[in-house]
Structure 1
Amino acid sequence: MSRITAVFVLSLVMTLFGAFSAVASGPSSPEEAIVALKEGNIRFVDGRSAHPNLDLERIRDTSANGQHPFATIIGCSDSRVPLELALDQGIGDLFIIRVAGNVCSTDEIGSIEYGVDHLRTPLMVVMGHSKCGACTAVAEGAEVHGSIPALVAPIGDAVKAVKAHDHSLSGDELVAAVVEENVWQSIEDLLMKSPDTLKHVNGGTVKVIGAVYDIETGEVRWLGEHPKQSAIIAAAGGGNPHIATADPHGEADAGHGAGHH
């Protein structure tokens, strides 16, 4: 092999390796993924977003080498909740499902399973947000039409749980409580209806957490794992004695939902 050929081959190998590394590098554990998202949101709120992985090189890398996101997120369709921007992440970093009310029904769960099982994201986040229109409509019993009633039906369970805990809530306080409870409801629906996700949670390769985005400040309040995760897993038929109920003073930044005290 001539010296010129050898140099060319070496250069090609290094280029390909560099491209793969650029795409595949990133958080590889649930804990690392949570830190990356928290730090990204802090940068966003502080007005010093890094805007990573948004250049032409990243576009070419992900096109040639596939996507390797480090988190799967289901959030609301609300245009005021720009998830990639709010978490300061770029192309290929997050696998995102958006649906009004961040509900977890069949279609959404199927998409989540693609992210968790096929793309192997170590973290799955259910992201609610303040002043959610879907939660407001269900909480206030607003009249909705077309396909919307079926879409927001799962939120009804969250409303019932909140009112059972404190029937005196109304207005903004009621909506805020329903928003958080709906995050827990979506996590419960996911774990109960998705054996694939449950398998990864039981194996410790995936963590499922809740969060709420504040549309007034841009800040994300991290709720942590479902406070009754162990009981839900057991009810779903995937009981694992090594999985403990989430510590409300650990991962979470605030108290858990009204229906799960």
Structure 2
Amino acid sequence: MKSNILLISVMLCSCLASAAVAADMPSPQEALASLVDGNARFVAGESAHPHLTIDRVLETGKDGQRPFATIIGCSDSRVPIELVMDQGLGDLFIIRVAGNVCSTDEIGSIEYGVDHLNTPLMVVLGHTHCGACTAVATHAEVHGSIPALVAPIGNAVAEVLDTQPGLEGDALVEAVVEENVWQSVESLLKRSPDTLRHIEEGSLMVVGAVYDIETGVVEWLGEHPQQSEILMAMADGSTLAETATSRD
């Protein structure tokens, strides 16, 4: 009996602590505005470089992290996410992987940010001239574990060629970059019940974006064009194949 009471007490304290952190978070819209403003400062050469002092290190080391956004982006060295968003230590929970693909490991990491750290915003960030997207779009020869890593990008290539037949070269790659963002969002929505729950509760917004490596500008794409349809289909228990969507 005592052990049961102790377990319930621990669970209650954990829930209350999580609720307190969530209550102190910005809204999804406010979190997005912070990133939009931060990128604008970066592009204008007016970065504020917040939260980069030793005091911030000591604060987050003692009190823990409380990021306001979870972001999955590419591993490309030209896309340092904290810098281009003008954010600092403990502000962003970031997952970086070649091609910003959303497979099991990445989705699990996103769920940690969304469900345990209570970030109100989740961003899938692609970027122009992406090497992973270029490799798949041009059928470049890759070796080792890379083919398995970038395999999901094949869906983006197929979608682009289906809706824009004849597209090639740089135009094809850039279209694949954007479509790959949507494919990653789609994969997350279809494979993460926790993410869906937070969206339905209004505590989370999931958006796509593309960073231009030549200008520093982030193009904000907004929520998935078929997000409502995907949420309804998943609520009905549809399979991944049944909820396949296309963007005309």
Q: Which residue of 2 aligns with 1:60?
A: 58
Q: Which moved more, 1:113-122 or 1:227-236?
A: 227-236
Q: Tell me which of 34, 37, 49 is aligned to 1:36.
A: 34
CA drift of 1:168 comes to 1.3
Equivalences for residues 1-261 of structure 1 within 5 A? 28-237=26-235, 259-261=246-248
* Structure 1 segments (4+ residues) deviating >6 Å: 23-26
Paired with 1:217 and 1:238, the residues of 2 have a C-alpha distance of: 43
Letter in 1 for 2:171: E
Task: Name structure 2 gaps, 5 residues minimum.
Answer: 1-20, 238-245
Paired with 1:92 and 1:24, the residues of 2 have a C-alpha distance of: 15
TM-score (norm 2): 0.86
Letter in 2 for 1:216: E
How far does the alpha carbon of each residue in 1:12-41 deviate from its partner, in whole angstroms, 9 at most, with x for none? xxxxxxxxxxx9998511000010000000
SS at match of 1:85: helix
RMSD: 1.8
How far does the alpha carbon of each residue in 1:139-158 deviate from its partner, in whole angstroms, 9 at most, with x for none? 11111111111111111111
Conserved 8 A contact 1:117-1:197: yes
Letter in 2 for 1:42: A
Paired with 1:186 and 1:235, the residues of 2 have a C-alpha distance of: 17
Task: Name structure 1 gaps, 5 residues minimum.
Answer: 1-22, 240-258
CA drift of 1:231 comes to 1.4
Q: What is the number of equivalent residue pairs in this alignment?
A: 221
Conserved 8 A contact 2:22-2:118: no
The 1:38–1:59 alpha-carbon spacing in structure 2 relative to 1, beyond 3 Å, is same
Paired with 1:165 and 1:50, the residues of 2 have a C-alpha distance of: 42
SS at match of 1:49: coil
CA drift of 1:236 comes to 2.0
SS at match of 1:260: coil
Paired with 1:37 and 1:116, the residues of 2 have a C-alpha distance of: 17
Q: Which moved more, 1:66-75 or 1:137-146?
A: 137-146
Conserved 8 A contact 1:24-1:68: no
Conserved 8 A contact 1:198-1:238: no
Paired with 1:188 and 1:235, the residues of 2 have a C-alpha distance of: 12
Paired with 1:130 and 1:238, the residues of 2 have a C-alpha distance of: 36
Conserved 8 A contact 2:99-2:133: yes
Letter in 2 for 1:111: S
Letter in 1 for 2:91: D
SS at match of 2:235: coil
Letter in 2 for 1:228: Q
SS at match of 2:174: helix
Conserved 8 A contact 1:27-1:36: no
Conserved 8 A contact 1:74-1:102: yes
